[in-house]
Structure 1
Amino acid sequence: MTQLIAAGADVDTVNGCFWIAELTSISRGKAGADSEIINVDGDTALIIAVREESIESVRVLLDAGAKVDGLDRKRWTPLVHAATLGLERIAELLVERGADVDARTAGSSTPLHEAAAYGSVKLIQLLLDAGADIEAQDFSNGNTPLLTAAWNGQDGALSELIRHGGRTSALAFYDLGALHRAAQFPQNERVMQLLLDEGIRLDKMSEFGATPANEAARYGNKMNVQFLLTEGADPSLHGVPVCGCIDVETDSSERGCPPGHCRTKADVLEVEGLFARHGGNRTLEDAVAAGDLEEVLKFIEDGSNVNGSDPSKDLEPPLHIAAARGLADIVQVLLGEGAYTEARDFVGWTALRLAAFWGHAAAIQALARGGADLNARSRTGHTALYYTSKKGYLESTQVLIDAGANLDIKTNTGGTALMRAAQYGHAGAVRALLDGGADASIVDKYRRNPLHFAATEIGTEQIMRMLIEEGVDVNSTTDLGTPPIAFAAYYGNIGGVRFLLSMGADPAIGFEGGNTMDDPCGCLGVAGLKDKIRCPRGAACQTEGQIAELEELMGRKRTAEAPRSGDPSLPQRDADSVACESLPLVLQQLECTASADPAK
């Protein structure tokens, strides 16, 4: 390192070796060394030092004033990195220097969640001794650290958390318990046995009617299924699709099938056979879940009720299962046999909404032709079109438009399909809705229009241009007087700020020095608020230089005050987009969305 400095290395150079030069400069007291410089990957020197497992470099940086909780682009602190890597000595040093043991990542887990996931028993001890919250819930899925350990097959971490008083009865979102989580992880008998030894219920049902054995089947976990059935688990599948993990969207953050699982039809039949050999009775729901049209026809021929084999149980009706899996041929058969198009499952979903949620255009078309109500609203006012637009399913959105869906139905808080398509950056859906006649001038209960929402997302200049050309006022204001450009600045959308300025936006409109939305990069202050939208990926809020550029464009500085979490002008995420889309199972996501009370 001495040679680097002697050769004239720039201590602020952002390249593969910048942090070494920076550390050397700091340790030698060189003027101008910046311990918070961020490299092209969004990492500070301290975070790189942690990842390089260099405790001496970490110590040098901390001694030089590096922020112990400085965030990288993923919103991870150095302690989170140490926890994921199992770096006990570095984590201990960070804690000694005041690191926040409950700091949350962008995904809303804590260092204790990460230590549990990676099985770092000594780190778990360290964090708990430092006061970490043993019952903290991950905002994205509801897992406590104990549930996270079970979900990742970490029996040592699980035992340690139990020893420290972690509740085995804790539930993730929608009543998913520790045994459900354990069953989802392959070859996890040791963890499941630990939980059973603690007295956990073998057949506890989740909110949507699945037992731990059902969850094992969904992931094709044969050994887990065999273990649970041998222990006396209920051998009914309850309409849960064996190997349903293959339905997981490839671009989602949830778990798909474990490596080597569910590769062939034989894998599915083997798991189904385990349930049958333990006395499980196969039902029409099971046949639909398996996508077996011949078996479905046989059940119908034998007199099975197409609207459900056992109405006394909280099970998904056959039509809902077929719609959720996009099985258009089975949807047509069930409709032809008299399945109710407007039947609602036990949490209020129609089959059309399920098909729309997953973007199954053929199933949507079959339901529309079968007379399904295209404009049916949930208790929060959401329609099928709302979901296809929000998730950017262009073909499904077009099917609904062509079938005559009302494009301007409002949710209970005034949101529309166009607002959601604009907010999530789906230019194709926005174009289809506008071409179909959607009204771009509609505002929600806070007088936010689609342009306000488009401004919150990076890379939406095309969408904003469409809306402005449609007649939306570039300087339109919310009920608190906030224009779209303030939304763009708040979320670090510097490209959006520049674009809106070029279209005539006035950054001074509504600025009163006290509005939550007045702060450029104000999104940095909501990391601990589970219902608020955090800074988007790529936001120009990573460095002081980026923030200064935004401040210059907007003509004002950031305030030191944290945002007011109750301020209605601060956009909230839909509950399903915060938690539900991160849940590991198809039906978990569906029921999560149905049970949520979205703010838009």
Structure 2
Amino acid sequence: MGGNSTHKLAMADDAGLGLRDKSQDNTRSGFEKREKRRRIRKLQDAISQNQINIVQQMMEEDFDVDFQYRGQTALQLAVKEGLYDMCVLLIIKGADVNKIDSDMNSLLNIASWRGFDDIVELLIQNKADVDSQNDLGCTPLNTCAYKGHAYICSLLLKAGSDSNIQNSHGQTPLHTAAKQRHVEIVDLLKSSSCNMNPGDENRKTPMIWAADLGFTDIVESLLSGGADPDKQDNLGRTALYCAASQGYLEVTQVLIKRKANLNLQTTKGCTPLLDAIGSSCSGSLDIARLLISSGCDVNLADRQSQAPIHVAVRQVSQMFGSPTENALALVKILVSGKCDVNQPDSEGWTPLYQAALAGNQEITKIILEGHADVNIQTKNGNSVLHAGAMGNSSAVVNTLLSAGSDVNKSNSNNEHALFAAITCRSNIQIVNALIKSGSDVDLKEKKLHCSVLHQAIIQHYTEAALLLIESGCNINAVTAKLQTPLYTAAEKGNETVTEKLISMPKCLLNGTKHSTVPLHVAVTNNHSKVAKILIKAGCNINQMNEKCMTPIMAATEENNEDVAMVLLRYGCDLNGQAKVSKVLPCCIVREDLHPHFDLEPLFLALTHKNVKLLITYMKFYFNIPYKLIKVLSDILRTSRDMNTQYSPAQKKTILAVFDHTMKHPRKLQEISRAMIREKLGSRPEVKLKGLTLASKLKDYVLMSDVLGEEEEEEEPSQEEKERGRFGLVFD
């Protein structure tokens, strides 16, 4: 069967179902509709080509002149093209003058937008709706106010257009004209008795908009029409506030001349003066001066209690940038204008506190000349002297001290200015000045009971720590944990401070209790040089801590090899724990008898797989612990856990060390050396110096072959001695 036959069958089936080809409506109504469309298309083509003769001929025919083609009527097309004569013909024919497009724009709105004043006049004469609104709520009057068509505006006003209708943003034609700076239209609207103070969706009036945009001419026109300069938007901003914050000097001058309220605050409490001072706009400082000279309240603060003087100091202080002459002059104007120089902000900061914290000597002097109180404290108790110390300006600190600032006034944590200076690691000249002025060098803060000396050591401020010691502070002051400054210095590894402290009379070398032993904390933190200093000063090299561990045990537990070698050199006893006969705290928490297996140096070295320490310890035991070695050897051979912790090579090496020790007893010479070392105790090198022995024999006893020669420490130069033991010079 051919293709044509198939097509015919399909058509027959469609006919049987009551269907037909809708693309060809052969009914009378379909024919008439197509004819209308053809005529309108012909008409619109003639309008587009401005063929008025063809249009005149077609007007004699009978057809629907408002029939739409391509989404518009013939009159809409003629209005858009600005064809006045075409519009006349179509209106005579009966075209609807109030037709709207898809955006709800009326013919009058379209003509107003395009500036076709003759067509606007024609539409008005033919009763077009002068107040029709599009989908944005704009009337023809609002539209021509936006575009600046003054003549059309006058036509609409004469025709009775409502000048107070608001668009979807709440803006009237006066808003629009003011925002677009169309002065002539503002004058026209003003003469039409429109509302001069309408608020938009944000309650902004035309006056506020004009001031915010810096339009002086618009502001003057609105004021002459009776606009209220003190109206506020929903954020509380006035026209004067907007002009001042944007740096528009001329607008500000006009508003002040017309008696605008200088002190109206926003919802956040900001005033025109506050924002003018805080603004980065050019001309802002001139505006601030103008507001002050015009009599604004120079003490009116915002919700954060920030007064103009606070903002001015913040703007010009070195903390926020180098001050300019104008900025400094503004601070001077505020101070000379009797502003409250002692006014605190929400944190209790005064202008003097701000200046001192910024380290600005010039501003500090200016504010002091205004009779600022040098002993006012912030909410956390800081004084201006605290601020000066934290600002790290010795000039500011000296100025405040000369002005009578209390050197011992403390904050809520019982920290005075000296404490603050050390915490901030301020210039040593500041620390010296505060000490010389009578600052309490033994003051302790509340939280941890750290003294000033503790704090200097914690902050690694060695110069300050040495100065405090020389100034006679309590070198044995203790914290809440009973830690002395020596303990803290040992903990931080500060060799210089450690040496200085132990050189002072009555320094507690061994701490205040078992948990605060300086040597232990130095060993634990692997500070070998500090440990050496402490041992040479006479610290107990075998003293137990709160865990019942001697320094060598603590060093081994932390696998601190360097400090362990120092302890061995200076005669520590690897069996020190075993020689204690009384019951210790460690015995309470462990099942095995004293000495405890898990505290033995050999066991601790084994846990770190440190073969070097194991071998070294075997040589330095006064009495080799064969029983312990046997137990460790058995564990290493039989324990399954050891198979996962140690590689076969590691196990082989360690077992070889143990087996050699067990199978090869010490020689008589080695036993004798061990006995001599045990008898000599700590610091064997000092005790051997007085004996008339051969150097070779001394080296053998001191085990120099294992430890090597001790490095000689350099003597300080004569210049260093003259400068003092801590290297500080003050004029």
Q: Give the TM-score of the pair, scaled to structure 2.
A: 0.34
Q: If each structure's helix is expressed as a fraction of its own residues, which one has the higher value?
A: 2
1 or 2 for the larger relative contact order (CA 8 Å, sep ≥6)?
Answer: 1
Q: Give the TM-score of the pair, scaled to structure 1.
A: 0.41
Asked which structure has the greater CA Rg, the reply is: 2
